[in-house]
């Protein structure tokens, strides 16, 4: 198939390119900027089979007024430009896979895709609006899969790239009280899930891309110390996280207990369902 990836320069985008190319698909990058013309976007999209939209600035940071505008424009405006261009395609793709985030959910419940306990903060509102814009492609007759990513782990990037250096130095530790749940996925399972959606045309709607076994921050910290053979007595109190990241500290301090019910019901099998299995692979590949 001819597959277009919007936002291919990031960790997930690079992994998807390598994986899909190895499956003998033609993979093409699409970059949408504020000055991108409709015609230039249509030129890339027209005649393709699948579009995977991963565009979005890193959610981890200090959410100043300016950074909030970037978070919003890089998701909402970019996705709106994409869906608008699709209306001008003579031969539009039949499938849109659009990234999203488990940040849509609140911190007080367990969630699967049927949960309606959404958060009431900036991130939850951003995600809901992002998904709404992506789902507008259904009006064109396209199949749309919304992929709510958990924290993405892998050996060469993503959250693990930021976590490993301090742990290897013996400076790793829990964040806040450590009881917040982390819903995560290994990048290898994420890219396999994308191919699963592409190949199974009956699948559409919202999917949580998280493993069946979320883990609390304290358990994760202990397991990382075990596999890296390092102490984990350091910790970062909640007040320090809030001081550094302000409102954006919710990304690290809020609990998200999310389960991939629809993905499992569809028959998808995880290669790395547990944090232990993921850490074994990551540490092995790190050498």
The residue behind tokens 């709607």 is: 205
Percent of the chain with pLDDT over 70: 100
Query: Each residue of 214-236: pLDDT tens digit?
Result: 999 999 999 999 999 999 988 99
Query: Each residue of 169-217: pLDDT tens digit?
Result: 998 999 999 999 999 999 999 999 999 999 999 999 999 999 999 999 9
- Cα 186–245–255 angle (5° rounding)? 50
Q: What is the phi/psi pair of residue 118, to 5°?
A: -90, 155
Q: What is the phi/psi pair of residue 86, to 5°?
A: -60, -30
pLDDT at site 157: 81
- Here the contacts of 73-81 (C-beta below 8 Å, separation 24 or greater) are 73/34, 75/126, 75/130, 76/126, 76/129, 76/130, 76/133, 77/34, 78/6, 78/7, 78/32, 78/53, 79/53, 79/55, 79/130, 79/133, 79/134, 80/133, 81/32, 81/36, 81/38, 81/41
Collapse the DSSP code of 177 into the 3-class scheme (helix H, G, I; strand E, B; otherwise coil) and give the result. Answer: coil
pLDDT at site 162: 86
Instruction: Share the mean pLDDT of the chain.
Output: 95
**pLDDT bracket for residue 155 (50, 70, 90):** confident
**Entry field: residues in the chain:** 287
Query: Each residue of 47-70: pLDDT tens digit?
Result: 999 999 999 999 999 999 999 999
Which of 79-83, 138-142, 160-164, 247-251 has the least mean pLDDT? Answer: 160-164
**pLDDT bracket for residue 284 (50, 70, 90):** confident
Query: Each residue of 249-265: pLDDT tens digit?
Result: 999 999 999 999 999 99
Q: Is residue 156 scored above 90 in pLDDT?
A: no
Query: Each residue of 115-134: pLDDT tens digit?
Result: 999 999 999 999 999 999 99
Q: Is residue 4 scored above 80 in pLDDT?
A: yes
Q: Is residue 1 scored above 70 in pLDDT?
A: yes
Under a CB-based contact definition with an 8 Å cutoff, are residues 257 and 111 in contact? yes
pLDDT at site 287: 61
d(CA 210, CA 151): 8
Query: What mean pLDDT comes out for the span 35-49?
Result: 96
Hey, what domains does the chain have and what are their CATH numbers? 2-153+184-210+257-271 (3.40.50.720)
């Amino acid at each position: 198939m001819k597959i277009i990836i919007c936002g291919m320069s990031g960790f997930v985008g690079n992994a998807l390119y390598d994986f899909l190319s190895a499956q003998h698909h033609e993979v093409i990058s699409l970059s949408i900027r504020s000055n991108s013309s409709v015609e230039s976007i249509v030129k890339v999209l027209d005649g393709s089979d699948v579009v995977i939209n991963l565009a979005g600035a890193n959610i981890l940071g200090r959410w100043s007024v300016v950074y909030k505008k970037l978070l919003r424009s890089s998701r909402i405006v970019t996705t709106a430009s994409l869906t608008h261009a699709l209306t001008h395609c003579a031969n539009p793709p039949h499938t849109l896979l659009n990234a999203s985030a488990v940040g849509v959910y609140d911190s007080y419940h367990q969630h699967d895709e049927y949960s309606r306990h959404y958060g009431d903060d900036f991130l939850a509102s951003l995600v809901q609006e992002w998904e709404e814009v992506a789902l507008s492609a259904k009006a064109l007759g396209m199949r749309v899969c919304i992929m709510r990513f958990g924290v993405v782990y892998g050996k060469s990037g993503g959250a693990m790239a930021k976590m490993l250096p301090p742990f290897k130095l013996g400076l790793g530790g829990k964040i806040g009280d450590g009881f917040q749940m982390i819903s995560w996925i290994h990048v290898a399972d994420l890219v396999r899930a994308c191919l699963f959606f592409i190949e199974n045309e009956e699948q559409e709607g919202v999917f949580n891309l998280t493993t069946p076994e979320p883990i609390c921050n304290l358990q994760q910290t202990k397991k990382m110390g075990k596999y890296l053979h390092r102490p984990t007595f350091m910790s970062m109190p909640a007040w320090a996280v809030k001081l550094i990241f302000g409102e954006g500290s919710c990304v690290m301090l809020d609990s998200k207990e999310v389960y991939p019910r629809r993905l499992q019901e569809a028959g998808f099998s995880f290669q790395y369902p547990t944090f232990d299995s993921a850490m074994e692979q990551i540490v092995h590949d790190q050498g």
